[in-house]
Structures are given as C-alpha cells and as structure tokens.
Structure 1
Amino acid sequence: MANIWNRWSDARTTRDNWRYTEHEYNYSWLKRPAIAILLFTAVYGAHISETYVGQIMDKGIRYILTTETDFTYVATQISQHLPNDLDLAVFKNMAKEMPKPPDPLAYMTKPAEGKIVSFFGWNKNQVSQGELQQGIEIEVVPGSTIKAAAAGSVKLIADSQVYGKTVIIEHGNGLDTMYGYLGEVIVGQGEKVSQGQVIARSGNKKVYFELREQGKAVDPLTRIKNEAQTKEGK
C-alpha cells in the first residue's frame, strides 16, 4: 500500500510541476531584423539628406553594387591565414566572378520631381503648329535640386542659347544625358557622379532633360523606371 501511495504521490508531483512550469521565451530571433531595420534607416536617412556624408555613402554603395569583383583572389588571400584543418569548401564556392552590372539604361531615375509639361517628339502649342522636342521638360520650383539619372562622369558644362546653362553626363556604352535650364552647377567637368547625386539647381520653373544613345535622341520616358506618365496622360 505504501508503494502505491508513493508512486501516486510522485506522479502528482511530476504532473503539478509540469502544470506550473513557467515558459521562458526566446527573443533572440528579433536581433537580426532589428539590426537590419536600423542599418536601413541610417543609410536611407543619409541618402535623402543631400549632405556631403550622404553623397560619400551613395558613392560607396554604388561602387559595391556596380563594381565587378573577382572573389577567387579574395578567397585565396583569406585561406592563407586560416588553420590547415579548416574546411575550405565555403571559400571555394565563393571563387566566382560577380556578374557585370546592368545596363544604366535599365535603371535610370527622373532627374527632378515635378510634372512633365513637354514630351519627347512633336509637341503642339498655341503660337505655332508645334515643335519637335528631343527631350522632356519637367515643371519645378526655381532652385530645386537636379540629380544625375544614372552613374557616370561629367562630360561637359556649357551655356546654350536654347537651354541655358547645361550639364552633359557620359554614362558609357554610348549613352549621354543632358540637363538644361540650370542655375547653380554643383559638379565639375570630369567629375564622377553616382545615380541620384545632386549635380545642379534649377534656374527657372522648368528643367530640360535629354537622353542620347550612340548620338541619337531617345525618349527618356522609355528608360526612366517607375515613370508611368505618358503623352496621353499629360
């Protein structure tokens, strides 16, 4: 009888302990998302600040994302400083050349915020039968920031009788962009610029933007990402 009582008592104790056990929650999985959010906030904040630090950070990120890197050399250098008994399979898998960066035509951005008031091609007006436009005109507030549509180098800074102070950026692969009706020009001739970098400020209520591929004018709206505005929607 005593043995039966002891077994029942032990079972009850085990059951009661299980019932009242406090659960410990593990929140370690939140660390990585939290760190990622903080890093994104810091980088994005610097990007939109239009400060010198922000421009330096943009250039660094642009270099990382667009520069071709041969990881064979990197993996070889790292493996020389690792223990001999370490499995190097991970580093062997890294020994692949990164793919070439995409064509700048595929990811251009609008150089200024505002409504497009003049489109590429034939534009009608009230004064005459119309005129042929080789670029687009964007309505802006005077003094607005003008940004590079894609990474490249400043090919020319000049004064035009038609478009006033202009900047031409060379992007490689026969691609050039021109920015007109400018006021203050912030960059210098020959300077390398990153996509979205402020290159000038508008001189009046419009900014002219032209895109040429192999010397031929191309409709910029066919190259600017996320730009849904069309001639029919103006």
Structure 2
Amino acid sequence: MNLSLNEIEAMCKRAARGAGLPWGLAEEVGAAARLLAGVALPGPEQLAALLARNDLRPVAALAPTAIEGGRWRAAMGRLCPLVSGCALSDRAAQLETGAVFEMDEVDFPLLLLPFVAAAAQRLDRPVALDWPNIRLVTDGRQICATGTRQEMLRDHVPWLRCHAEATLGDPLAPVRRGQVTDDVWAQLSIFAHRTYAPATEASRLRGAGAGLADND
C-alpha cells in the first residue's frame, strides 16, 4: 500500500492506543512511525510486530528499571523501545553532560530512534544510538546509518547505547509517502479497532448507527 505519512501516523497512533498505551504515548508512537516511514524505514511494520509481541502485557513490566546510575532492564526481561524511548526523552539533558544510557535486552531497537531524534533536536546536537554492528546518528532532522539494513531491523538486541559523542554522516534520503504491506496494515487495524466503542441499542436509537431501520 502506498500511503501518505499522515495516514501512517494516524493509524499507528490509534493502534498503539488500542494496544493499551496511554494516549500521550500513543501520539508519540504515531509520530515515531511517521519519522521512520519518512526515510523509507519500516516503522509501521516494526510497530505492528512489537504490539503483537507485547499484547496484554502490563506496560510497567516492559518499562526500564535502574534508570538512575545503572543499566536499564525490564522486569519481564525485554525492554519495550516505546516506553524506554519516553524515559530517554525525559532525560535528554543528561546526554549533554556526557551521560551514556545503556539498555539490556531491547526489542525492535529501531523504534527507539525517533525518541533519540527528539532528544537531539531539543539539545541541538547529534545523538547516536548503537547496538551490535549498527550506529545510527541523528540531529532530529536527518538520520545517518552505519551497518546493514538486516542488522538495523533486528527484532531484538542484547544491548544498546545512546550517547551524544556523535557526528553526522551521509543522511538517509527522505520520501514523501510510505509503503506498508496489506498484512501489516490489517494487523494495525485490528489494534486500532479496539479504540472504537461498541454500538449499544441506545446509541443506535440516537442515530449513531442504523437503529431499528432495516435497509437491506
């Protein structure tokens, strides 16, 4: 499917909310998927896979612990990049003073990149995200990648590091529209539909639906 970036953002936001994330975080997730799709990276695909993997798991169990002064880990053993990304964004100023954020056992690490980009834009300096065989650097407007696409799209890495000792290289080319497979769009739609309130007899009679009229 060839989709506008607005369509991708709206669907991913609603899918994240349908998967149980708070609206504020869901809005950031939609923007994150849009940023990745805007440089031809599969943000929607990775998001759909992550939401399926974490479905019905409590957010608290996927959130980082030992944030202050230790390596970030999750109670359930695998860090969610979305929840970790929000925690990283809240601590962006620490990067400017030389802090290095180290995380263990992270799912779909590419989904952390948009949160790093937001931090870089806030600091007005490049920030790097490293995991085995990959370095991504962003200043919040451009994204530069070192490593293979296969390594970049891993669904899990044993560790990653985020730090501000970084310089920009050749940026990824921006695109105006995103490509999403039918299967991924359908999977996102399943999560998104959870946000729709089911019709009741009362709402149908008020005109929210067909009511008692039979138009067949």
Under a length normalisation based on structure 1, what TM-score does the superposition of the two structures give?
A: 0.23
More strand by share: 1
Higher alpha-carbon Rg? 1
